[in-house]
Amino acid sequence: MKKIIVLLLIILIPSSFALITTVNEDPRIDWYEVSDDDLAVCLAWGGTENTITSTTKGEVSGPDFLTELTIAVQASKTPKPNGQSLYEVAWYVQPFEGTVDYNVSLVSENSSLLIASASSVAQAGSSGYFANYSATNYTTITLKHSLGEISNIPIVVRE
């Protein structure tokens, strides 16, 4: 009987230390309830080993990894009876590390209008909003940054 108890202790004690170590290494945070699904996705797809580039419309050049640079940009055009249109543009830029310089431009068939020139840092990111009336027929928007660019993003026409 003593041999069985000693054998069980030899087997169970290392196993219980492994369980304690696993629980202590759980990368969850206090201010957000991380689900097991969140944890599984991050463990499987996090980091820069997996190439993911996402765009709804437009052309992208620059980093191959979604985790290196996050950019969101959108633009709308609301035609007015006087022949002008209200152009609204919003953007967000945040690199994973370091600083990224960028320019945002409205583009027509014959010209472009630089509406913002700024820098974004990893810890804070950078965003902006532009609204202006113009008679020029801008059709796309371009965001050029120090790592590449996103171009030919269509401007959504609102009625």
The pLDDT > 90 percentage for the chain reads: 35
Average pLDDT, the chain: 75
Residues 30 and 63 in one domain: no
User: Does 71 lie in the same domain as 24?
Assistant: no
What's the structural domain count of the chain? Answer: 2
User: How confident is the model over 103-131, as a mean pLDDT?
Assistant: 92
Domain of residue 132: give its range: 59-157
Query: Who wins on pLDDT, 137 or 6?
Result: 137
Determine, yes or no, domain membership for 53.
no
35 belongs to a structural domain: yes
Q: Assess whether pLDDT exceeds 90 at residue 89.
A: yes
Residue 35 exposed, middle or buried by CB count within 10 Å (0-12, 13-18, 19+): exposed
